[in-house]
Amino acid sequence: MRLQGECTTCSLMNALKKSVTKLDYWRREILELAIALQKEEAIMSKFTSTKKGLTCPICDDNTGKCRVVDKISLCMNSPDGLIEISGYKYLHASKDGLWGVYGEDNGQTHSNDAKRIYKAQKVERDLTTKHKHETSLNLIERDREYRKLISQLPLTDRALSDLVRRGLTAEQIEQMLFASVGQWHPLRHAITTQLAGVIDKGNKLNVMADGYLVPIPNIDDLIIGAQYRVFEPIDGNKYPWLTSRTKNNPDGATPHLPNGELPMGVYRPKNLIKKGVVGLPEGYLKPSITADKVGHICLGMASGNFAGCPEQFEQTLKLIEVQQGIKPRLVLYPDAGAIQNHHVMDTYRRTYKLAVKLGYEVKVAWYGQFSKTKHQDIDELDSTDDIKEIPWYQFLGLQHKALKDESVTISQRYLTDIDIPDSAKLICLRSPKGTNKTGYIARYVDGQRGYKRFLVICHRSQLTQQLGHRLGLRTHYELENATGDIKAAIASEISLFGMVTTWDSLHKINPDDWKNCEIILDEAEQSIWHLLNSTTDIEKYRIDTIAMFSQLLQEGDRTWLLDADLTNTAIEFTSGLVNRLDFEPYIVLNNYLFEEPWNVTIYAGNEPTGLQEKLFDYGSIGVSGR
């Protein structure tokens, strides 16, 4: 029995300890991992960023880098647990490795020496870094030195070919001052080592691999920084910064401006078509291409982190407003697949908050770019005709609907034929309400009748009756409530064709009797929520039920997840319960959009008379004939 106030996750953990001897080793590992992930995700949603008045108890941060909730703290300055604080115990690193997870521990006896030393060292480092930035080259000096540097560099055929492939014209390439660089590129004429990227005595560039320079212009067309595009990514990084800082030269010049910010680029189109609009793509090469495609000014920033350069962001937008005579609205251009990356989405959120704080309207350019592999970034589009500017809140709503790369995309008013290969063992079908998902699966079940058995699991008893009727399968309820010959006949039918049951009754079956069956979860999102969170009868058998579900998935043939709002959460939970090489999700996404809205009639008042009359009309029954 769950204690009053005890969370579902705690209940699961307690039940797990009691039931652990009943589980096979591999199933126990999977369950513990699934529950731990559920617990961590539930906690993460409640964390509050540090701020003035809410400091991190581990490192005293109040800038928003760390997170705090109840007795748990996430410290970004101590992801490896190097800081030891009295009253707190380092537990582990967060899943993404960004934070150290600390919990209150009144039994800890560590002194605060480590904390005091860390704070003193941090203050000293911050002062040193601030002084270094303030004494670096000013913007005019940077522009002069970068142009000296670029004048010494060629543009190879390989670099030119890559730029043309990206869609740049010869005029754009010349205007942007792209230049080729090679590993440890030598310079004919020495450049000041105060310029980021110049090393030794000013006669060499700190370049790790062959590529080409991407200069970054500001609002005044001054070159204030540079990245270089490498032909072969370095540890996944295609655009390293040009910097003089190395392990052997930790005090070398970095790309930071005198105000401590990284450079922000400003890119003007050849033909300014849209005044009062400023685009926000990611990076620096991308906005230079995008500006000409969309016909308005675009800003560029590494990883799209405009919130990391608030001073440049604000000053540039004010200057654009003065130059164009109109306050611009901002248009965010998300990369393809970015909506599935929570780190990128967090960056977008910070940019949005900064823009709103400064008084700017923000829209999002959307053309259905859910997938990184199947859709294109803004600079890769042949046409911008299909781009819609949607509100920020609508964009956030799409994040919930974003799925991992779908295997096939269709557009069907009513689901008919879907090409699903025999090798697909976890079929995930998301299709809007009213597109006949149940009818589709009913036809599939009917076509396999006598060849395969089906186990349909529901979260509501009423749904079992409906699905049993639609799919032509008996229900567990019918079996339990029948007697004599009828019970034997139902049992025989179930042994041949399968049945429909509920999560609350699943613990009553023998999973060994259902090997090689096909499992169907209709309304999969609600179904899995019920499995993990419901306080109905399943609460008493939750761990055993999850274990049984895991075994059924492991030993079954195919599994179907159907839902109008199917999410990665349901897919990842299901796939994470098995250890099968053939259980990769096969995602079918029906993108059909209803063109004609439903007609909705609102009946006022407290009496149902008007509605009754309309219902009788639809039934061809006159009111007078009642």
Tens digit of pLDDT for each residue in 402-446?
Answer: 777 777 888 899 998 898 999 999 999 999 899 999 999 999 999
Does the pLDDT at position 528 exceed 50?
A: yes
Lowest mean pLDDT among 80-94, 359-373, 375-389, 603-617: 603-617
DSSP codes joined into one string, 530-551? HHHH--STHHHHHHHHHHHHHH
3 state DSSP class of 291: helix
Burial class (CB in 10 A: 0-12, 13-18, 19+), 281: buried
Q: Which residues pair with residue 449 across a beta bridge?
A: 452
Instruction: Give the amino acid at 274.
Output: K
Per-residue pLDDT for 574 more than 50?
Answer: yes
Question: Is 139-230's fold the same as 408-590's?
Answer: no
How would residue 94 be classed by pLDDT, with cut points 50, 70 and 90?
A: confident
Residue 575, φ and ψ in degrees, nearest 5: -65, -25
State the pLDDT at residue 352.
Answer: 96
Categorize the per-residue pLDDT at 23 as very low, low, confident or very high, splitting at 50, 70 and 90: very low
Residue 248 is predicted with a pLDDT of 87
What mean pLDDT comes out for the span 389-401? 84
Written as six digits, the tokens of 323 are 């130059």
Query: What DSSP line would sit under 95-135, residue for residue?
Result: TTSS-EEEEE-TT----SHHHHHHHHHHHHHHHHHHHHHHT
Confidence label for 228 from pLDDT (cuts 50, 70 and 90): very high
Out of 81-90, 145-154, 231-240, 312-321, which region has the weakest mean confidence (pLDDT)? 81-90
Residue 137 pLDDT: 95
DSSP 239-251: S-B-----SS-TT
- Report CA 128 to chain centroid distance, whole Å: 37
Residue 19: pLDDT band with limits 50, 70, 90: very low
CA 289 centroid distance within chain: 26
Q: Is 338 exposed, middle or buried (0-12, 13-18, 19+ CB in 10 A)?
A: buried
Cβ(403)–Cβ(546) below 8 Å:
no
Tell me the C-alpha distance between 500 and 509, whole Å: 12
* Residue 131, pLDDT score: 74
Q: Is the pLDDT of residue 22 over 50?
A: no
Over range 297-301, report the average pLDDT.
98
Predicted confidence at residue 85, as pLDDT, reads 79
Residues of the chain by 3-state class (helix, strand, coil), percent to 5: 40, 20, 40
Percent of the chain with pLDDT over 90: 61
Per-residue CA distances from 177 to 107, 197, 479 (Å) = 62, 17, 77
Residue 598 confidence (pLDDT): 59
Instruction: Tell me the HSE value of 208 on the side-chain side, using a 13 A CA sphere.
Output: 19
Determine how many CB atoms are found less than 10 A away from the CB of residue 319: 14
Cα–chain center distance at 58: 28
pLDDT higher than threshold 80 for residue 605: no
CATH number of 139-230: 3.90.980.10
Instruction: Give CA–CA dist 283/50, Å, rounded.
Output: 28
* Amino acid 373: pLDDT: 84
Domain 408-590, CATH: 3.40.50.300
pLDDT confidence of residue 95: 72
Please report where in the chains the tokens 């699903």 appear, as a residue.
Answer: 420
Residue 328 tokens, joined: 């611009």
For residue range 309-351, list pLDDT tens digits in order. 999 999 999 999 999 999 999 999 999 999 888 889 999 999 9
Burial 467-481 (b: 16+ CB within 10 A, else e): bbebbebbbbbbbee
Which of the four pLDDT bands, split at 50, 70 and 90, describes residue 558?
Answer: very high
Reply yes or no on whether the pLDDT at 622 is more than 70: no
pLDDT tens for 469-512 read 999 999 999 999 999 999 999 999 999 999 999 999 999 999 99
Does residue 62 surpass a pLDDT of 70? yes
Residues 6+ apart with CB under 8 A from 396: none
Q: In what order do the strands lie in the sheet with 88-93?
A: 48-49, 67-69, 72-75, 100-104, 88-93
In this prediction, residue 117 carries a pLDDT of 65
Q: Are strands 67-69 and 48-49 parallel, antiparallel or unpaired?
A: antiparallel
Report in angstroms the alpha-carbon separations of 244 from 128, 194, 198, 204, 249.
17, 8, 6, 10, 7
Half-sphere exposure of 418 (CA within 13 A, CB side): 28
Cβ-in-10-Å burial (0-12, 13-18, 19+) of 91 comes to middle
The mean pLDDT of the chain is: 86
**Integer CA distances (angstroms), 314 to 121, 234, 297, in order:** 32, 33, 15
Pull the structure tokens for residue 197: 């990227």
Who wins on pLDDT, 486 or 109?
A: 486
- pLDDT, one tens digit per residue, over 40-49 is 444 445 678 8
Least confident stretch, 130-134, 139-143, 146-150, 501-505: 130-134
pLDDT tens readout for residues 280-295: 999 999 999 999 999 9
pLDDT class for 34, splitting at 50, 70, 90? low
Q: What are the structural domain ranges in the chain? A: 8-44, 50-131, 139-230, 265-401, 408-590
Distances, alpha carbon 366 to alpha carbons 53, 86, 252, in Å: 38, 50, 41
Q: What is the pLDDT of residue 132?
A: 79
Provide the pLDDT for residue 104. 84
The pLDDT of residue 112 = 56
The encoded tokens of residue 405 equal 């790369």
- What pLDDT is attached to residue 84? 77
**Does residue 13 carry a pLDDT above 50?**
no
Please, which residues have CB within 8 angstroms of residue 116's CB and are 6 or more apart in sequence?
A: none
**Size (the chain), residues:** 626
Beta-carbon contacts of 271 under 8 Å, excluding residues fewer than 6 positions away, are: 292, 295
